[in-house]
């Protein structure tokens, strides 16, 4: 099969990593993998693993982006993919409109993945327009069913995201050279027990809840915010740093910026947190941390709730309740809880099921 995946950019985030993982899997299994995006730091890795990247600025949420539709029509005609897999709203609209311009006999089969619990409107509805719609969790399927009742339930497929157990083992520990470099880069963390909130710097990740929790734990614990800020979010990063100073936590919190070694950070941590202010569609870092043997305190909603229920139920705490999360944090720091991860959330399962969706769709009449 020739598969064309489309997403805004290839920098960091769950959608980007999922796209790259599927691209690698396709190549390893004899398929042709194409990825269309505005580019980013993952392009080199993608191409080294055998995929071909096509660069086009499909990432902008602007009416001016409609000018790319004729070029996308030509691209679909020239590349003739068997499957067009759309993963994000802005490029999905552009590609869908280009796809509709083709005669039916020239169209690739259309797959969309709903990665997030986005606002409910016409703009977001495009992610339900696929001939098959992949939902990354039961929470996402429920969201689609409730908010887009006209969508045929028969075309919805739940495929949970997953991790590679060979890379995320409970006995994994960072090598000494990594620890030495970490202590050199962030000397304020040396000798401390790390409490880590992973994720990009946005208002939705629960940083202020994390501050409240950190204020209540013993001083030998140090907060780590592992994630970078998009240029549009730099003002919010400054706001967070000011908030930390107001709460007298500036010496107990480290902002790492973007890191490519999140696995090591999670394994080096005493506890990891998932405190999103809106339900997570899946919660990949929750699964990664648990698979590494690191307990997680997570709000009990969305995809994170599904992971915790299966792998670490004692880590669930009421949604958007930092007081309850603080109490649970203190309890877990005093215990050695058992973790059963990754459970069924295996990357190989996710990738094989996605390819199966492609095969089933190609066997169906358009």
Same domain, 57 and 144: yes
Domain with residue 51: its CATH number is 3.40.50.2000
Same domain, 318 and 243: yes
Q: Does some domain include residue 167?
A: no
Asked if residue 65 lies in contact with residue 71, where contact means CB atoms within 8 angstroms, the answer is no
Residue 183 tokens, joined? 């202590």
Residue 135 tokens, joined? 């939902």
- Cα angle for residues 288, 292, 293 (degrees, 5° grid): 120
Same domain, 29 and 144: yes
Total of domains in the chain: 2
Q: Does some domain include residue 291?
A: yes
Q: What is the dihedral of CA 310, 344, 329, 211, to 10 degrees?
A: -120
Same domain, 207 and 60: no
Same domain, 81 and 143: yes
Same domain, 25 and 92: yes
DSSP string, 117-149: ----SHHHHGGG-SSEEEESSHHHHHHHHHH-T
Judging by beta carbons within 10 Å of its beta carbon (0-12, 13-18, 19+), is residue 266 exposed, middle or buried? buried
Asked if residue 270 lies in contact with residue 333, where contact means CB atoms within 8 angstroms, the answer is yes
Asked if residue 358 lies in contact with residue 1, where contact means CB atoms within 8 angstroms, the answer is yes
Residue 39 tokens, joined? 């580019």
Same domain, 62 and 108: yes
Supply the range of the domain harboring residue 247: 176-333
Q: Which residues contact 323 (CB under 8 A, 6 or more apart)?
A: 212
Q: What is the pLDDT of residue 337?
A: 87
Same domain, 186 and 266: yes
- How far does Cα 283 stand from its chain's mean position? 7
Q: Does some domain include residue 43?
A: yes
Q: What is the pLDDT of residue 366?
A: 76
Q: Does some domain include residue 168?
A: no
Return the bridge partners of 157, or none. Answer: 134
Q: Does some domain include residue 190?
A: yes
Neighbour tally for 280: CB within 10 Å: 29
Residue 253 tokens, joined? 């919190």
User: Any idea how long the chain is?
Assistant: 366
Q: What is the pLDDT of residue 230?
A: 83
Q: Does some domain include residue 170?
A: no
How far is it, in rounded angstroms, from Cα 286 to Cα 266? 10
DSSP string, 257-326: -S-S-HHHHHHT-SEEEE--SS--SS-HHHHHHHHTT--EEEESSHHHHHHHHHH-GGGEE-TT-HHHHH
CA nearest 211: which of 255, 158, 156, 154?
255
Q: Does some domain include residue 20?
A: yes
Same domain, 214 and 323: yes
Judging by beta carbons within 10 Å of its beta carbon (0-12, 13-18, 19+), is residue 334 exposed, middle or buried? exposed
Same domain, 85 and 47: yes
Return the bridge partners of 282, or none. Answer: none
Q: Does some domain include residue 169?
A: no
Q: Cis peptide leading into 342, omega within 30 of 0?
A: yes
Measured CA to CA in angstroms, residue 171 lies from 167, 192, 268, 275 at distances of: 11, 20, 11, 26
Q: What is the pLDDT of residue 304?
A: 96
Same domain, 215 and 290: yes
pLDDT mean values, one per 10 residues, the chain (366 residues) = 97 88 97 97 95 95 91 97 97 97 96 94 96 96 96 96 93 97 97 95 94 95 94 91 95 94 97 95 94 97 95 96 96 91 94 97 88
Angle subtended by helix axes 138-147 and 302-311, to nearest 10: 150
Q: What is the pLDDT of residue 252?
A: 96
Same domain, 289 and 358: no
HSE-up (13 A, CA, CB side) for residue 334? 8
């Amino acid at each position: 099969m020739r598969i064309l995946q489309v997403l805004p950019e290839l920098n960091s985030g769950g959608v980007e990593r999922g796209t790259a993982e599927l691209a690698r899997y396709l190549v390893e299994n004899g398929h042709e993998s194409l990825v269309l995006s505005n580019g980013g730091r993952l392009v080199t890795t993608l191409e080294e693993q055998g995929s071909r990247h096509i660069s086009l600025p499909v990432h902008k949420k602007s009416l001016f982006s409609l000018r790319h539709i004729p070029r996308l029509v030509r691209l679909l005609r020239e590349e003739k993919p068997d499957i067009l897999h759309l993963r994000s709203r802005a490029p999905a609209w552009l590609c869908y409109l280009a796809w509709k311009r083709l005669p039916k006999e020239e169209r690739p089969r259309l797959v969309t993945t709903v990665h997030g619990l986005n606002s409910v409107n016409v703009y977001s509805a495009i992610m339900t327009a696929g001939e098959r719609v992949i939902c990354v969790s039961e929470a996402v399927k429920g969201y689609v069913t409730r908010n887009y009742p006209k969508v045929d339930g028969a075309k919805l497929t739940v495929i949970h995201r997953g991790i590679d157990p060979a890379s995320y083992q409970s006995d994994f520990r960072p090598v000494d050279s990594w620890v030495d470099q970490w202590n050199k880069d962030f000397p304020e963390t040396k000798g401390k027990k790390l409490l880590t909130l992973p994720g990009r710097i946005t208002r939705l990740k629960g940083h202020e809840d994390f501050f409240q929790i950190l204020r209540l734990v013993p001083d030998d614990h140090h907060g780590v915010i592992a994630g970078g800020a998009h240029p549009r979010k730099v003002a919010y990063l400054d706001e967070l740093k000011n908030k930390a100073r107001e709460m007298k936590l500036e010496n107990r919190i480290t902002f790492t910026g973007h890191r490519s070694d999140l696995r090591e950070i999670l394994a080096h941590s005493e506890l990891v947190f998932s405190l999103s202010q809106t339900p997570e569609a899946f919660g990949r870092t929750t699964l990664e941390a648990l698979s590494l043997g690191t307990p997680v305190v997570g709000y009990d909603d969305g995809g994170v709730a599904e992971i915790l229920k299966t792998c670490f139920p004692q880590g669930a705490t009421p949604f958007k309740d930092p007081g309850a999360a603080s109490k649970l944090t203190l309890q877990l720091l005093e215990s050695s809880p058992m973790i059963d991860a990754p459970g069924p959330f295996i990357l190989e399962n996710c990738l094989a099921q996605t390819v199966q969706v492609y095969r089933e769709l190609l066997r169906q009449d358009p």
